[in-house]
């Protein structure tokens, strides 16, 4: 076989069977000369004869597998090339959307239920390991890594403080603007203070930081830990006897438990300040009158109702990001998928938990 020969593929008919003969150099530079499709002759499942194959790279192996995807088996390959075909086939054997769409409804539904069950099982196992790590750290505080904890507090929480304050300031102002128009029509414009105070303390002051951290910290946690999994750093840590939950999960979990209450309090202050400025500019309510009415009309319990939700939301954000980061299996595409899924699940968990708390507090009249 001459070096640099063009890649060829043709059908050799042999009685009732057909064999696809692959020859030439199947390298990236030569693949532009390939036909878009291959005729299989009279056989739906021909064999592939690669005994005349010259040079080949991974792109060439993928081209062969794509052109002859219905073939029964590949023959005439040395062991090293057979391994190449196995790796390329394993990396590209994902089921496409058109194939999945052709499955019956009960099959697709069954797959969804199965994946949901596996996700619940994985989450329960993760929570159990995190609980063990947390209890051991409480019993022996020296297990907590202060450097990792401080770094996570700064990167995951404190760096997002200006953005959270600005957003809640404008949200408080918007609530006051919209509320003032509606309340003036009802002849109760003075109630705008209660509207801003209760909505910011119970909901927006907690929900906005949680949503921002879900997008920022969840993706950061999943990407950081997932990159370590891809580079096999986690395997090296395990070989050295380092517990992954103590080193990677617990510092991130504790950092959000520590910083999110602080961020929520600052968000509440910024939201109330935004409502104050809007009320002063639109309705002429002076800052002193706004603060006095806020103290007299808005009970302190609304603040504690909001703060009570913070640890649960912080835990959901940290657990979701770390769990999906540890689930990465060494594939760049899977890393991106895991980061996306982690953010979506964290946002869903926040909205769901906030709604559950609202129903619970309403039932108990809190």
- Residue-wise pLDDT for 89-99, tens only, equals 766 665 454 55
pTM, two decimals, is 0.69
First to last CA, the chain: 83
Give the closest residue to 294 by CA, choosing from 159, 225, 193. 193
Taking residues 156-177, report their average pLDDT.
89
DSSP 154: I
List, for residues 192-251, the tens digit of each pLDDT value. Answer: 888 889 999 998 999 999 999 988 889 888 888 888 888 888 888 888 888 888 888 889
Among 31-35, 237-241, 302-306, where is mean pLDDT lowest? 31-35
In the numeric block, the tokens 């002859």 are attached to 68
Better-predicted residue by pLDDT, 291 or 51: 291
Please give the Cα distance from 72 to 39 (Å, whole number): 15
DSSP string, 234-294: HHHHHHTT--HIIIIIHHHHHHHHHHHHHHHHHHHHHHHHHHHHHHHHHH---HHHHHHHH
Contact partners, residue 172, CB within 8 Å, separation at least 6: 196, 200, 204, 270, 271, 272, 273, 274, 275, 276, 278
Please give the Cα distance from 309 to 317 (Å, whole number): 13
């Amino acid at each position: 076989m001459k070096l640099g020969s063009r890649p060829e593929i043709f059908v050799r008919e042999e009685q009732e069977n057909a064999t696809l003969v692959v020859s030439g150099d199947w390298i990236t530079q030569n693949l532009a000369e390939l036909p878009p499709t291959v005729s299989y002759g009279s056989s739906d499942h021909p064999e592939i004869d690669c005994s005349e194959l010259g040079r080949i790279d991974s792109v060439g192996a993928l081209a062969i597998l794509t052109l002859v995807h219905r073939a029964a088996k590949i023959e005439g390959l040395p062991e090293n090339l057979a391994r190449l075909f196995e790796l390329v086939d394993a990396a590209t054997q994902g089921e496409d959307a058109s194939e999945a769409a052709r499955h019956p409804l009960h099959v697709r539904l069954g797959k969804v239920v199965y994946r949901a069950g596996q996700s619940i099982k994985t989450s329960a196992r993760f929570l159990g390991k995190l609980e063990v790590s947390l209890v051991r750290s409480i019993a022996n505080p020296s297990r907590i890594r202060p450097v990792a904890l401080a770094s996570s507090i700064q990167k995951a929480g404190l760096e997002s403080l200006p953005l959270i304050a600005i957003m809640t300031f404008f949200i408080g102002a918007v609530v006051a603007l919209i509320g003032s128009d509606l309340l003036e029509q009802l002849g109760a414009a003075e109630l705008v203070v209660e509207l801003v105070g209760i909505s910011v303390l119970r909901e927006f002051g907690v929900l906005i930081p949680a949503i921002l951290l879900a997008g920022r910290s969840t993706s950061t946690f999943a990407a950081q830990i997932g990159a370590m999994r891809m580079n096999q750093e986690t395997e090296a840590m395990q070989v050295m006897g380092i517990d992954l939950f103590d080193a990677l999960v617990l510092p991130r979990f504790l950092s959000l438990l520590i910083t999110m209450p602080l961020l929520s309090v600052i968000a509440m202050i910024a939201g109330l300040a935004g409502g104050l400025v809007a009320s002063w500019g639109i309705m002429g309510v002076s800052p002193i009158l706004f603060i006095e009415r806020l103290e007299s009309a808005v009970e302190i319990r609304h603040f504690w109702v909001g703060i009570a939700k913070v640890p649960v939301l912080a835990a959901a954000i940290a657990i979701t990001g770390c769990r999906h980061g540890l689930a990465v299996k060494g594939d760049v595409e899977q890393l991106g998928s895991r980061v996306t899924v982690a953010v979506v699940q964290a946002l869903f968990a926040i909205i769901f938990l906030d709604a559950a708390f609202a129903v619970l507090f309403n039932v108990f009249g809190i």
